[in-house]
Structure formats: structure tokens, C-alpha cells
Chain A
Amino acid sequence: MNNPNMQAETKVQMDQIADSNGGQISVLRLSGDMSSSSREALMGSYAGASKNHPVLLDFTKVDYINSSGIALVIQVMMEAAKSGQKVAAFGLTPHFEKVFTMVGITKYAKLYKDQSAAVAALS
């Protein structure tokens, strides 16, 4: 029997959307696991996003998040802070909204229920 891989590959799709004032927002749509194996997918996608407008992390299709995945979110926030870029997130379950709050992420990145709430707040 082959060794099964229990980790779901992290995929990130980047969309550009308009805010209500005609500005741009980059949305990183994450899917699969957010864990130590997600580094290349998340940081690579973030590196391709413009630093001139806000970044939204879409967790709607993320099945699993552990502390290593949360650490990668913090690394995105650290990179964004260097250029004064806003970072926000949406689509987290109530449990992970609580966990993100516990570790202090909400001090630097606001969490929203869905994309429309996030876009309205960032506009």
C-alpha cells in the first residue's frame, strides 16, 4: 500500500475586485489545508499581489487550519505592514474567528463574515 497523504494541497487563486469607490482589492481565495505545507502557495501568491491596494484572504473553502497555517497568515501581515498595506479576511468559521482573535491577529487584520462585508469596510 502506498503511503497515504493526509494533507490537502493548498491552492490559492488571486482575483482583482473593485471596491465601491473604484479602487482595487486583491482577493486571495484559499482552498484545501492551511498548514506548514501551505507556505509556497500562500507566500508565492501574496508576492504576486500589488502592494498598492488592500489584500483580502478568503477562507471560505479552507477545510483545515493549524498553528503553522496561522503563522503564515501572520507572515502575510508582516509583509503587508512593510508597505502599509491593509490585510483583512473573511469566510472563517466562528471557531477560527475565535482562534484568530485569541492569537491577536485581529489587532492587525479585521475579520469579516463574507466578501461583501469586507469590501464595504475596505472601501
Chain B
Amino acid sequence: MVKTGGTAVEVRLPSRLGFEKVAMGTAESVARLMGFPDARIEDLKTAIAEACINAIEHGNQQNEKLSVGVILSASDDALEVKVMDNGVGISKQPAKPDIDRKMHGEEDPRGMGMFLIQALVDEAEWVKGNKGDGSYVRLVIRLDKDTE
């Protein structure tokens, strides 16, 4: 494990689907330096991918003139990730996906991103933009959490 406490890494992505992989790769590198086990790194990568996809698709409406900001802040025992876009943010959390309703056509088969984010990290918080400041989602994954 490398001492990474107090370190921050920032990445800016174009608002184009696929570029979430750049954030995933960066997060994987930072988490590996911090000593996260593989299973938690996979959780983090999926959560960050979903947060970036939401920012690209919904926050920035795939407007390539806008970028998605990703800041990874390492402390001694946790990694905090902020994914920022130019949208107004969400006003209400979607309901937990219900596979039976999806299978019966009563619920959109999509719409699982926010659920996955919440399920895979230790903290997830959606912060609405204020006076054009943009919005962000803040994720925290802790080093001391047991894996499976």
C-alpha cells in the first residue's frame, strides 16, 4: 500500500458515452495504490461508471461542449469521489428496481444506475446544483469495510 492520504486526482471527461472508462481506470489506479481489495475496486468501478453515465446522459445531455468532472480524494481510510455535471440534479431518488415489474412491462428495464451506485459504495449523496453551479454525486468507499 502506498501512502495516499490527502491526495486528490482530478479528471475531466467529454460528455460522450464510453469516456466513463477513463474515470474507471483512474479510480482503479488510485484505489489500488490505497490498498483496496480487488472486489471493492470492482464495486467502485461500476459505481463510478454509472455516476459518469448519468452525468453524461442526463446532467450534460451528451453535449460534448460540456465536461464531466471527476475528483478522487484519498484519505487514510477512505476514497471519496465527486462526479460533477452541469445539470440541475435529481429531485427524487428513483424506486428500487423491481425485476417482477420489469419482466411484466410495468417498469422500464433501464433505470438501475442509481440503485447500483447506492448498493456498491458505502455512502452515496446526490447534491443539486445551486444557481447554475452544477450538480454532483459524492461517493465514499472505505478501506476497512469487509469484502464479500
Contact = CB atoms under 8 A, between A and B. Distances in A.
Interface of A: 3, 5-7, 33, 35-37, 64, 66-68, 70-72, 74-75, 77-78, 81, 93-95, 98-99, 102-105, 107-108
Given A108-B99, A108-B103, A67 B17 contact: no
A42 to B, nearest CB: 12
Contacts of B108: 71
B111 to A, nearest CB: 8
A70 B18 CA distance: 16
A95 B105 contact: no
Given A66-B53, A71-B109, A71-B110, A3 B17 contact: no
B17 A37 contact: yes
Contact of A6 (B19, B46, B119): B19
Contacts of A3: 16
Interface in B1-42: 16-22, 39, 42
Contacts of B102: 74, 78, 104
B65 to A, nearest CB: 13
A68 to B, nearest CB: 6
Nearest to A93: B42
Contacts of B21: 6, 64
B110 A7 contact: no
A10 to B, nearest CB: 12
Nearest to A64: B21
A77 B104 CA distance: 11
B50 A5 contact: no
B49 interface: yes
B80 interface: no
Contacts of A105: 99
Rank and list the top 5 A-B pairs by shortest CB-CB distance, nearest first.
A104-B99, A6-B18, A95-B42, A7-B18, A71-B109
By secondary structure, the A interface counts as helix
Interface of B: 16-22, 39, 42-43, 46, 49-50, 53, 97-100, 102-103, 105, 108-113, 115-116, 119-120, 148
A64 B23 CA distance: 14
Contacts of B16: 3, 6
A52 B41 CA distance: 41
29 contacts: A6-B22, A33-B18, A35-B18, A64-B21, A66-B113, A67-B112, A68-B53, A70-B112, A71-B112, A74-B99, A74-B102, A74-B103, A78-B102, A78-B109, A95-B42, A95-B43, A98-B148, A99-B116, A102-B115, A102-B116, A102-B119, A103-B99, A103-B112, A103-B116, A104-B97, A105-B99, A107-B99, A108-B99, A108-B103
